[in-house]
Amino acid sequence: MVSRPLVAGVIAGYLAGDAVTGLLIGSTLELYHLAIVPAGGGRFPDTGPATVVAATVAVWTGGTPGAIAIAWSLGLLWGQVGGWTVGLQRRLNGVILGRVVGEGGSPAALEVAHSLAILSDLTRGTFFTAVGLLIGITVVPSLAALWPLELEWTVGLILAGASVPLGILFKGFGGWPEHRVLFVVGLGAGLVGAYLL
């Protein structure tokens, strides 16, 4: 659960020096990943390292609207690449189990293989994050300088894109046919509550 974008963004932002920017990056990335149901052995974005990259790079490159926008999009794309590396990791786990445990079924060998698999995944995540940070701090400053939008419009653009995943999420909840009344009541409550705050 620490790998959720919302949590990883705040922690990475705090460690980089600005938890509020981390929250902005983490919460907007979270909106895109809420609808994903990681069932079975499919390929899904690796959100934790990608969010750490996005939040850290956004803070380190000044936290400007441009830095936030470019680092955020890097995080979204980096998560896709991360999903591919998770697939490789799973293949590697099969190799580790085959080599270490083999046909013998020794409990000690199983514990070693299981620990090695966890350790190699940790190494993968660390390396993957480091490469993302390197790409981010190299690329983001030059592109961020060209960014033409204010923060409100930057966030507005990201939220407009997030409307599609939120529609997917609503469909996953049962959607308009099943839960339209609760959705509309919630919408009203959100409007009134936010207006009064």
Partner 1 sequence: MSILVTSARLRTFLRTFLIQGSWNYRSLIGSGLAYTLLPMLRVKFRGEPEKLNRAVRRHLQPFNAHPYLAGIATGAVARLEEEGADPEMIGRFKDAIRGSLGSLGDGLVWAGFRPLALLLALIIAWAGARPYVVITVFLILYNIGHLWLRIWSLLIGLEGGHSVLERLRTADLPSLTQKTLAAGSFALGGLIGVFVVDGRSLGAGLWPWLFAATVGFAVGHRVGYAAWRPTAVFTALAVLVISILGLA
Interactions with partner 1, residue window 149-168 (CB under 8 A): 149, 152-153, 156-168
* C-alpha–C-alpha distance, residues 1 and 12, integer Å: 14
43-82: contacts with partner 1 (CB under 8 A)? 45, 66, 69-70, 72-74, 76-77, 80
Residue 123 or 156 having the CB closest to partner 1? 156
DSSP 4: S
User: In a 10 Å sphere around its CB, with 0-12 CB exposed, 13-18 middle and 19+ buried, how is residue 197 labelled?
Assistant: exposed
The helix (run of H) or strand (run of E) holding residue 161 is: helix 151-173
Residue 187 beta carbon to partner 1: minimum distance, rounded to whole angstroms:
4
Check residue 184 for interaction with partner 1 (CB under 8 A): yes
Residue 177 beta carbon to partner 1: minimum distance, rounded to whole angstroms:
10
Tell me, what amino acid is at 139? V
Check residue 17 for interaction with partner 1 (CB under 8 A): no
* C-alpha–C-alpha distance, residues 102 and 99, integer Å: 6
106-145: contacts with partner 1 (CB under 8 A)? 106-107, 110-111, 113-115, 117-118, 121, 143-144
Helices and strands (H and E) in the chain: how many: 7, 0
**Quick one: tokens of 167?**
């529609």
Residue 130 beta carbon to partner 1: minimum distance, rounded to whole angstroms:
21
Residue 110 or 131 having the CB closest to partner 1? 110
Check residue 101 for interaction with partner 1 (CB under 8 A): yes
Among 3, 14, 64, 81, binds partner 1 (CB under 8 A): 14
* C-alpha–C-alpha distance, residues 2 and 159, integer Å: 23
Residue 150 beta carbon to partner 1: minimum distance, rounded to whole angstroms:
9
Residue 129 beta carbon to partner 1: minimum distance, rounded to whole angstroms:
18
How far does CA 154 lie from the centroid of its chain?
19
